[in-house]
């Protein structure tokens, strides 16, 4: 710019420089420049203050970031520790479970052994105390008729057996038991008392004494065959509710063409796969037990049920001498 050019305004970032032409010369407005300088100082101070505030914010953010990283590290360490503890617990649980399973297997074997021992002892006891006697055919004469205690008694078949068993003779040491076809021979030997017998070129004196068999067991066996109830076994174990199976059984024995009739009650036991059916009308139970196998249909499948009379037994007047 030369001195002969036209005056113009200078603008740079809000700085206004005014050139005033006075007698052919340019004079700067010093006051305006000072004012602008003060503004810039003020702006610089504000900028410095903002810079300090931003620096403080950065320091605070860095501190919070470091704290967050520390917390994150702690959480990661805690998570790893918990994972290790869970793995140790899981291994201990699996080890304990294996021990429990082994103990269960051993207990089942022991239970089975005890069951076998019990069955063997029960079988032996049943053999030792079995009472078996064939009763000869005899003519029976009815002397009187007893009044029934209730109307249900007419539906049932009741039997009463008087059982008397004799204890078998048991030999002691240096004893022998001789049985003769004729009683007189035994009586003569008993009356004679002492006898001399040659055994291995030696004479042995024996004494003959009578044998007395005492009565060992007495009891009455009462047997009642129900005329309105039957037992059903071999009921199929199906994945359906007990009420459905109970209803199916009731419908199966409700049909008269198979000897059934109106059902009063059905008691079903899933564990034993058995059921007890009570009919309303007399004679239906007798018709059902005439056939020991009855077809049973569920979901288009055919099963065979075993049917037997409902028998109640109990002992009375049991005596052991």
Q: What is the DSSP letter of 151?
A: G
Contact predicate 213/166, CB 8 Å? yes
CA nearest neighbour of 157 among 275, 306, 282: 282
Q: Positive or negative CA dihedral for 59, 63, 68, 73?
A: positive
* pLDDT value at residue 8: 46
Give rounded-to-5 percent helix, strand, coil for the chain: 40, 30, 30
Q: Please tell me the predicted confidence (pLDDT) of residue 315.
A: 76
Nearby residues of 100 by Cβ (< 8 Å), 6 or more positions away = none
pLDDT (tens, 9 = 90+) of the chain, 321 residues, equals 444 444 444 444 444 444 444 444 344 578 888 888 888 988 898 888 888 889 999 898 888 998 999 999 999 999 999 999 999 999 999 999 999 999 999 998 889 989 888 888 777 666 555 555 555 565 655 555 666 565 555 577 777 776 666 666 677 788 888 888 888 888 888 888 888 888 778 888 888 888 876 656 677 778 888 888 899 999 988 888 889 989 988 888 887 677 778 888 999 998 999 999 998 888 888 888 888 888 888 888 889 999 999 888 887 776 655
Report the pLDDT value the prediction gives residue 82, as an integer from 0 to 100: 92
- The pLDDT value recorded for residue 183 is 85
pTM above 0.85, yes or no: no
Nearest to 262 by CA among 295, 291, 285, 290: 285
CA distance 227 to 286: 7
Residue 54 backbone phi and psi in degrees, to 5: -65, -35
DSSP result, 52-97: HHHHHHHHHHHHHHHHHHHHHHHHHHHHHHHHHHHHHHHHHHHHHH
Provide the 8-state DSSP code for 214.
-
CA 319, 148, 157: angle at the middle one, nearest 5? Answer: 70
pLDDT, residue 24, reads 41
């Amino acid at each position: 710019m030369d001195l002969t050019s036209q005056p113009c305004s200078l603008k740079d970032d809000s700085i206004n420089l005014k050139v005033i032409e006075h007698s052919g010369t340019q004079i700067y407005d010093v006051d305006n420049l000072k004012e602008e300088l003060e503004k810039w100082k003020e702006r610089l101070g504000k900028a410095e203050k903002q810079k300090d505030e931003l620096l403080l914010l950065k320091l605070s953010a860095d501190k919070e970031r470091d704290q967050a990283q520390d917390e994150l590290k702690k959480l990661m360490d805690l998570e790893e520790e918990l994972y290790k503890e869970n793995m140790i617990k899981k291994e201990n649980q699996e080890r304990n479970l294996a021990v429990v399973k082994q103990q269960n297997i051993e207990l089942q074997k022991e239970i089975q052994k005890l069951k076998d021992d019990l069955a063997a002892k029960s079988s032996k006891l049943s053999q030792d105390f079995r009472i078996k006697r064939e009763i000869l055919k005899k003519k029976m004469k009815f002397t009187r008729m007893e009044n029934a205690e209730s109307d249900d008694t007419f539906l049932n078949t009741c039997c009463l057996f008087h059982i008397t068993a004799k204890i078998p003779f048991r030999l002691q040491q240096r004893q022998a038991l001789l049985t003769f076809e004729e009683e007189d021979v035994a009586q003569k030997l008993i009356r004679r008392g002492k006898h001399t017998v040659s055994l291995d070129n030696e004479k042995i004196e024996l004494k003959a004494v009578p044998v007395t068999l005492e009565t060992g067991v007495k009891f009455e066996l009462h047997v009642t065959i129900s005329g309105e109830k039957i037992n059903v076994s071999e009921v199929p174990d199906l994945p359906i509710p007990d009420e459905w199976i109970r209803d199916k059984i009731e419908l199966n024995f409700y049909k008269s063409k198979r000897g059934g009739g109106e059902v009063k009650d059905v008691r079903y036991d899933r564990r034993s796969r058995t059921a007890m059916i009570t009919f309303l009308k007399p004679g239906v139970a007798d018709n059902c037990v005439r056939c020991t196998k009855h077809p049973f249909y569920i979901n288009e499948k055919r099963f065979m049920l075993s049917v037997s009379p409902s028998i109640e037994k109990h002992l009375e007047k049991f005596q052991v001498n």
